[in-house]
């Protein structure tokens, strides 16, 4: 018998057609709608100081803001007016939290006793990447309170710092904008200075503590923040879940390890470190390690860093933040599961383990799928950009820009504004894919294609590997 047919197949036969829209597809659609609306607002005359931005520049900026990336074609603080900056800030907030989270918050605010429907609940769970059970109203309130507290406190500290360098009104606006951008891991700033970001603050303690703290909190993921809150207040389990422990351990290892390696690599060939004191070198190494985890600010000129440092940052950008947060990348848990699976293969174990817990086979398969598809997106995006830009810029720089777009980071070697229109459109597509997730993006892309759902189990065979 070559194949066996399941009972479900015997009852219903093979089915043709397209399955109904799922939460992932609706989330992709919501991001596309927000991007298009943002593009229209940025095209308005009152959005810019002078020249009309053109469709591509407005689309690129709206996509970068909604996907909380931070790649920019122009200096945000000087090119866009206050109206344009407010539009960008709103796009960052909507993109960082996600359309379904905001919808849930509005329903919670205006319909106090109403329960979300099954479809809205599924969309919410998909949006925050959590398997929470029951009505998510309470979790939505936690998200709202976390955002208000973190962004509010961050804005206060940053405003007090900026007031020493600029008028009070501008300092407050810069503090608010930077705080929201940092917590949402967006990487946009309105400080001006020709897209130098926070390079003038390389040795500033306040900036180098407040912004990385906001980035880390936003990147941990709301499920982990909720679990930590319950753990500290002793309202939940006395033991953190495997997910939370994995997120915390991998985040700490990447941040600390990244900072140490950046300091060592740049100290060996100190091109970017030449004008900096020891204190500034330590702070910039810490800052760049944190912001490479999908935030996109910089206190060190990225284009002047050694190629080995750029390769390290590419790895950090590809891994990214954690599920259910405001960052991008393949996520820390995906990286941990893939690494654990590879280790299990090396030692000949039949189970993938994290700590003292085995990981479900379906989770391992999903992690491998996300990891491989993400590699394909980054490599394919770099290939497409290199078709038009390969003779103008080094391949490493092109890979850096594409990985930054996929990881929704926003760090740049400085070549993004100089890329051709075709290459910038590729980055737009890569940013959207990185924000909504490769599985949701692929499912949406392939949904118009009718396919045969085969409920057939074939006889197993073998092929040579390795």
pLDDT digits (tens, 9 = 90+) for 311-347: 999 999 999 988 877 788 899 999 999 999 999 999 9
Give pLDDT, residue 8: 41
Tens of pLDDT, residues 244-258: 999 999 999 999 999
Residue 236: CB partners within 8 Å, gap ≥ 6? 227, 230
Closest CA to 20 of 144, 122, 93: 122
Give pLDDT, residue 116: 56
Q: Which residue has the tokens 């391949």?
A: 395
Rg (CA), the chain: 23
Tens of pLDDT, residues 29-45: 888 999 999 999 999 99
Q: What is the DSSP string of 82-127?
A: HHHHHHHHHHHHHHHH-HHHHHHHHHHHH-TT----HHHHHHHHHH
Contact call for residues 140 and 127 (beta carbons, < 8 A): no
Choice among 244-258, 341-355, 442-456 with the minimum mean pLDDT: 442-456
H helix runs in 133-241, sequence order: 137-162, 168-183, 205-220, 222-232
Q: Residue 275: exposed, middle, or buried by beta-carbon count in 10 A (0-12, 13-18, 19+)?
A: exposed
Residue of higher predicted confidence among 428 and 274: 428
Give pLDDT, residue 356: 84
The predicted model gives 284-297 an average pLDDT of 90
Closest CA to 128 of 141, 113, 110: 141
Contact call for residues 453 and 14 (beta carbons, < 8 A): yes
Torsion angle defined by CA atoms of residues 149, 154, 156 and 160, in that order, rounded to the nearest 10 degrees: 170
Tens of pLDDT, residues 88-134: 999 999 888 765 566 666 555 555 555 555 555 665 665 566 555 55
Give pLDDT, residue 3: 45
Give pLDDT, residue 131: 53
% of the chain exceeding 70 in pLDDT: 81
Give pLDDT, residue 228: 87
Give pLDDT, residue 290: 94
Task: Give whole-number Cα distances, 80 to 44, 100, 165, 429, in Å.
Answer: 11, 28, 21, 23
Q: Which pair of tokens denotes residue 375?
A: 């590699």
């Amino acid at each position: 018998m070559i194949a066996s047919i399941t009972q479900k197949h015997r009852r219903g036969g093979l089915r043709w057609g397209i399955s109904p829209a799922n939460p992932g597809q609706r989330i992709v659609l919501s991001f596309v709608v927000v991007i298009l609306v943002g593009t229209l607002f940025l095209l308005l005359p009152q959005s810019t100081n002078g020249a009309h931005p053109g469709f591509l520049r407005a689309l690129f900026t709206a996509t970068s803001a909604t996907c909380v990336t931070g790649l920019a074609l122009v200096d945000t603080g000087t090119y866009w007016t206050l109206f344009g900056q407010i539009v960008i800030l709103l796009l960052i907030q909507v993109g960082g939290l996600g359309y379904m989270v905001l919808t849930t918050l509005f329903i919670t605010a205006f319909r106090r006793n109403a329960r979300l429907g099954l479809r809205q609940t599924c969309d919410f769970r998909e949006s925050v990447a959590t398997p929470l059970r029951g009505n998510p109203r309470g979790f939505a309130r936690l998200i709202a309170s976390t955002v208000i507290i973190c962004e509010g406190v961050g804005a206060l500290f940053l405003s007090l710092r900026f007031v020493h360098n600029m008028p009070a009104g501008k300092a407050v606006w810069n503090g608010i904008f930077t705080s929201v951008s940092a917590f949402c891991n967006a990487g946009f700033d309105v400080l001006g200075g020709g897209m130098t970001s926070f390079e003038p603050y390389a040795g500033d303690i306040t900036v180098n503590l407040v912004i990385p703290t906001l980035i880390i909190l936003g990147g941990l993921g709301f499920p982990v923040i909720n679990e930590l809150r319950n753990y500290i207040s002793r309202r939940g389990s006395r033991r953190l879940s495997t997910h939370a422990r994995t997120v915390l351990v991998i985040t700490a290892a990447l941040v600390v390890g990244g900072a140490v390696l950046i300091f060592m690599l740049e100290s060996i060939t100190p091109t970017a470190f030449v004008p900096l004191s020891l204190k500034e070198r330590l702070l910039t190494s810490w800052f760049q390690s944190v912001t490479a985890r999908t935030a996109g600010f910089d206190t060190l000129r990225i284009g002047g860093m050694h190629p080995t440092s750029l390769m390290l940052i590419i790895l950090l950008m590809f891994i990214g933040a954690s599920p259910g947060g405001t960052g991008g990348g393949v996520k820390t848990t995906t990286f941990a599961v893939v690494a654990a699976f590879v280790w299990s293969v090396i030692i000949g174990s039949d189970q993938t383990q994290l700590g003292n817990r085995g990981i479900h086979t379906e989770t391992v398969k999903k992690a491998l799928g996300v990891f491989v598809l993400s590699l394909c997106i980054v490599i394919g995006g770099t290939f497409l950009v290199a078709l038009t830009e390969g003779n103008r810029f080094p391949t490493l720089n092109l890979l850096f820009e594409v990985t930054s777009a996929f990881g929704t980071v926003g760090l740049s070697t400085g070549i993004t504004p100089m890329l051709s229109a075709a290459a910038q459109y590729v980055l737009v597509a890569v940013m959207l894919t990185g924000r909504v997730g490769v599985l949701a993006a692929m499912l949406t892309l392939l949904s118009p294609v009718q396919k045969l759902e085969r409920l057939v189990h074939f006889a197993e065979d073998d092929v040579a590997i390795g």
